[in-house]
């Protein structure tokens, strides 16, 4: 089992990464200092609850002497809501959860963000452990961003609230449908674009279109995780450097929400990365060869790269509520090389619209070719 430490203002926490982490969940939680008899609520979703490893985690915690319950929410981004958070608070209260007790978020980014938000706010904050089960969650489980969506935009309510540990069992990933695997690759590729050109080149040379065996996967995932760890350690509360993790997200979040979550987070961010790559090119920040490499590697992984049919006017308001903007001008994290992303805070909405409209026209032309 590989151990990666994350320094945070609230203390250092470990990421335990390996193929046999969940069977040891109970002893790992004891090692964190929680005593036998502590109440542990596992928060998960209804898909994950039915997979064999959910039982493995529960059994391991029971055998270690914890008093457990499981609370289940429907799978999907619509569970990242205040209504769902309130249901969960009540579930915790009913079970008698105190400040010394523990929440375990077992699932993908939706469960991690929601359960983390509930843990951050229940009784003004109780401890939680992230137990990510999707590839995408190599990103969401680290760094302490927790939150819920509003109808007006993604992740508009939340906190920076680091977990006590991240227990990442790679054997859970073999249950992922291909679409979910691919969805997660968007954030792995993103981490390469941000700060690891070697990781990016490896993905170009050998696209990971399905879940490989843990021995192959572990070093790749560890490299992507290390990019995230380095960034959040440098700027935990996103006052500057951390904004680079948002490459592809300023437009991608709007596209994700506008699709009513028919597009997965990684799928929307893939389209967002393509459009933001074009914005970087339009500003002469990125060479054409690098722009082509970004689009090609996303395509090679089966990720969507075409602009959806939405009019820009339908996205503008959603982009406008992005938390990074400081004024009427927009803030974007733009790729400037493979392995380097720069934050720019003087983007006029009209510039984005021009790039978007041009890409939309190109996408429609392409479709026309296919039909004829
Ligand atoms: N907090 C952060 O830093 C951060 C970072 C990236 C993304 N996010 C958020 O994460 C969310 C997306 O996360 P996600 O893509 O993991 O989505 P998700 O949590 O909805 O999981 C995707 C689907 O896979 C299923 N699933 C989970 N584990 C599985 C497994 N092992 N086998 C089979 N099916 C499994 C889930 O039930 C769900 O249907 C978005 O809400 C996004 O905003 C947060
Ligand atoms: O950890 C971060 O910081 C990120 O930006 C990671 C993103 O992949 C993630 O989607 C995050 O939830 C976006 O946060 P937001 O603050 O833009 O809502
Ligand atoms: Zn993301």
At residue 70, what are phi and psi to the nearest 5 degrees?
-120, 130
206 flagged as catalytic = no
Mutate to test the pocket of ligand 1, among 55, 140, 156, 246 (most ligand atoms within 8 A of CB): 140
Q: For residue 186, which of 77, 288, 304, 338 has the smallest C-alpha distance? A: 304
At residue 72, what are phi and psi to the nearest 5 degrees?
-120, 135
> End-to-end distance of the chain based on CA atoms, in angstroms?
54
Q: Which helix (H) or strand (E) holds 239?
A: none
Measured between alpha carbons, how far is 200 from 189 in angstroms, rounded to an integer? 6
ipTM of the complex: 0.99
**∠ CA 195-153-230 to the nearest 5 degrees?**
20
Average pLDDT, the chain: 96
Residue 276 Cβ < 6 Å to ligand 2: no
CA of 288 to the centre of ligand 1 (A): 32
According to the model, what pLDDT value does residue 368 have? 54
| pLDDT single digits (tens) 236-254 | 999 999 999 999 999 999 9
Pairing state between β 102-107 and 39-45: parallel
Q: Token match 């890409």: residue?
A: 359
Lowest mean pLDDT among 171-175, 216-220, 223-227, 363-367: 363-367
Q: For residue 45, which of 135, 114, 111 has the smallest C-alpha distance? A: 111
301 flagged as catalytic = no
Measured between alpha carbons, how far is 180 from 310 in angstroms, rounded to an integer? 24
CA of 246 to the centre of ligand 2 (A): 6
Measured between alpha carbons, how far is 231 from 236 in angstroms, rounded to an integer? 8
Q: How crowded is the C-beta side of 367, counted as CA atoms within 13 Å?
A: 10
**Does 330 score more than 50 pLDDT?**
yes
Q: What is the mean pLDDT of residues 25-40?
A: 98
Mutate to test the pocket of ligand 1, among 50, 53, 76, 109 (most ligand atoms within 8 A of CB): 109
Residue 169 Cβ < 6 Å to ligand 2: no
**Residue 28, by phi and psi: left (phi above 0), alpha (psi -120 to 50) or beta?**
alpha
Which of these is catalytic: 138, 164, 228, 301?
228
| pLDDT single digits (tens) 73-130 | 999 999 999 999 999 999 999 999 999 999 999 999 999 999 999 999 999 999 999 9
| pLDDT single digits (tens) 184-236 | 999 999 999 999 999 999 999 999 999 999 999 999 999 999 999 999 999 99
According to the model, what pLDDT value does residue 169 have? 98
CA of 284 to the centre of ligand 2 (A): 26
């Amino acid at each position: 089992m590989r151990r990666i430490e994350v320094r945070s203002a609230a203390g250092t926490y470990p990421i335990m990464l390996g193929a046999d982490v969940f069977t040891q969940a109970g002893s790992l939680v004891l090692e964190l200092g929680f005593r036998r008899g502590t109440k542990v609520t596992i928060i998960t979703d209804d898909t994950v609850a039915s997979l064999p490893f959910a039982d493995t985690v529960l059994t391991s915690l029971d055998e270690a002497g914890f008093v457990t319950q499981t609370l289940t929410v429907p799978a999907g981004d619509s569970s990242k809501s205040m209504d769902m958070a309130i249901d969960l608070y009540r579930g915790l209260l009913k079970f008698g959860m105190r400040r010394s007790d523990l929440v375990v978020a077992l699932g993908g980014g939706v469960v991690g963000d929601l359960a983390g938000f509930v843990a951050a706010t229940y009784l003004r904050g109780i401890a939680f452990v992230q137990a990510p089960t999707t590839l995408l969650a190599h990103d969401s489980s680290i760094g302490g961003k927790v939150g819920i969506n509003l109808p007006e935009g993604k992740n508009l309510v939340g906190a920076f609230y680091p977990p006590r540990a991240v227990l990442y069992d790679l054997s859970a990933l073999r249950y992922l449908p291909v679409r979910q695997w691919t969805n997660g690759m968007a954030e792995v590729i993103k981490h390469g674009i941000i700060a690891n050109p070697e990781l990016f080149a490896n993905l170009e040379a050998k696209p990971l279109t399905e879940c490989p065996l843990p021995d192959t996967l572990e070093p790749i995932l560890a490299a992507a995780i290390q990019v995230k760890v380095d960034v959040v350690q440098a700027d935990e509360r996103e006052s500057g450097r951390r904004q680079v993790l948002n490459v592809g997200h300023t437009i991608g979040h709007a596209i994700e929400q506008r699709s009513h979550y028919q597009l997965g987070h990684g799928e929307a961010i893939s389209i967002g990365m393509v459009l933001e790559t074009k914005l970087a090119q339009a500003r002469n920040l990125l060479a054409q060869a690098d722009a082509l490499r970004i689009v090609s590697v996303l395509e090679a992984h089966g990720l969507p790269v075409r602009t959806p049919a939405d009019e820009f006017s339908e996205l503008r308001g959603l982009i406008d509520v992005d938390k990074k903007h400081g004024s009427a001008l927009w803030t974007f994290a733009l790729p400037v090389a493979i392995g380097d992303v720069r934050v720019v805070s003087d983007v006029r909405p009209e510039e984005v619209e021009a790039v978007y409209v041009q890409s939309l026209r190109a996408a429609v032309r392409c479709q026309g070719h296919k039909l004829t």
